[in-house]
Amino acid sequence: MREILIAIGEDPDRDGLVRTPTRVAHAYAELFAGLRVDPGQVLATSFEADHEELVLVRDIEVFSLCEHHLLPFHGVAHIGYIPGVDGRITGLSKLGRLVDVFARRPQVQERLTVQIADLLSERLEPRGVIVVLECEHMCMAMRGIHKVGSRTVTSAVRGLFQDDAKSRAEAMSLIIR
Ligand SMILES: Nc1nc2c(ncn2[C@@H]2O[C@H](COP(=O)(O)OP(=O)(O)OP(=O)(O)O)[C@@H](O)[C@H]2O)c(=O)[nH]1
Ligand SMILES: [Zn+2]
């Protein structure tokens, strides 16, 4: 960080900047903490339930950093699943925790979307999973192409949502408003 400050023409020893390398190190430790967490642990607790219909959590806040520029992208995730035949469900907060574990890494939005869908699919063995992310990328807003307000939408579907167009359309109608 000190070398970056010198490279951009700053004085790393001036009062406001002298502790900046340390601050950035601490900030990065938090922003990239997901690299040191086992995502499977997030879903370690699950419950039996007689619910065989859609469970959908909308508008889960997403903060991540693109791996190309290390600039933030942020927006929301919508995560839905239909529990498997043995009816296991997870705590609703775990879906938000799962987003954070994968988001707190150098990312691309597509991979973040797929990682969430794959882990839910693997660990909960649900009948279907649908994940939609809508994010704005600062690397496209405050630099480069300067397109402020454009949002990128990515989705990943697993299980019955892949084959059953009616179920997918029903879930999408609850997600996209
Ligand atoms: N597919 C994808 N691309 C992303 C994501 N985040 C940033 N990017 C893009 O990554 C690309 C990197 O392109 P490069 O040409 O290597 O880098 P660059 O010269 O800084 O590109 P510009 O942003 O076009 O100025 C850019 O087009 C970014 O918009 C993401 O989550 N998914
Ligand atoms: Zn970027």
**Residue-level pLDDT at 55:** 95
- Which residues, in sequence order, are CB contacts of 103 under 8 Å at separation 6+? 34, 62, 63, 64, 112
pLDDT tens per residue across all 177 residues of the chain: 999 999 999 999 999 999 999 999 999 999 999 999 999 999 988 888 888 899 999 999 999 999 999 999 999 999 999 999 876 799 999 999 999 999 999 999 999 999 999 999 999 999 999 999 999 999 999 999 999 999 999 999 999 999 999 999 999 999 987
* Ligand 1 pocket check for 151: Cβ under 6 Å: no
CB of 40 sitting under 6 A from ligand 1 = no
Determine the longest span between alpha carbons in the chain, in angstroms.
63
How far, CA to CA in Å, does 114 sit from each of 33, 91, 107, 146?
19, 20, 11, 27
Q: In the chain, what are the domain boundaries?
A: 32-175
Burial letters for 138-153: b for 16+ Cβ neighbours within 10 Å, e otherwise?
bbbbeeeeeeeeeeee
Separation of CA 176 and ligand 2 centre (Å):
25
Tokens encoding 132: 């939609």
Residue whose structure tokens are 């406001």: 16
- How many residues does this entry show for the chain? 177
With b meaning 16 or more CB within 10 Å and e meaning fewer, what string describes 63-84? Answer: ebbbeebeebbebebbbbbbbe
Task: Tell the residue nearest (CA) to atom 23 of ligand 1.
Answer: 144
pLDDT at 88: 77
CATH 3.30.1490.20 assigned to 32-175: no
Residue nearest to ligand 1 atom 4, measured at CA? 108
- Measured by CA distance, the residue closest to atom 22 of ligand 1 is 144
Which atom of ligand 1 is nearest the CA belonging to 144? 25
Cα(69) to ligand 1 centroid in Å equals 8
pLDDT at 87: 66
How much distance in Å is there from the Cα of 5 to the middle of ligand 1? 24
